[in-house]
Amino acid sequence: MRKISLYLKESDADMMIANDIGSRYNNSDYNEVFLVDSKNVVKTGRKTKAKIVKIIRKNIEKNLN
């Protein structure tokens, strides 16, 4: 997570999403991501890709307000 926080600061981005693309997630409808912004790190846990999209969208909307 330290690398992601450093990349976030260096890139001047508002948020980054880290996705584990390891072999245990191959060809799966489930995934796990980390959403990193300047204040928080949110771990989605293993969820369907559709649910992860909703989590990402909610976090983006929260940061816009």
Domain that holds residue 36: 2-64
27: left (phi over 0), alpha (psi -120 to 50) or beta: left
Q: How many domains does the chain have?
A: 1
Dist. CA 47–CA 28, nearest whole Å? 10
pLDDT in tens, 29-61: 888 899 988 888 899 998 999 999 999 999 999
CA distance 30 to 3: 24
Of the candidates 64, 16, 20, 11, which has an alpha carbon nearest to the alpha carbon of residue 40?
16
Considering the entire predicted model, what is its pTM?
0.76
Q: Which residues pair with 41 in a beta bridge?
A: 36
pLDDT, tens digit (0-9, with 9 covering 90-100), for 4-25: 777 888 888 888 898 877 766 5
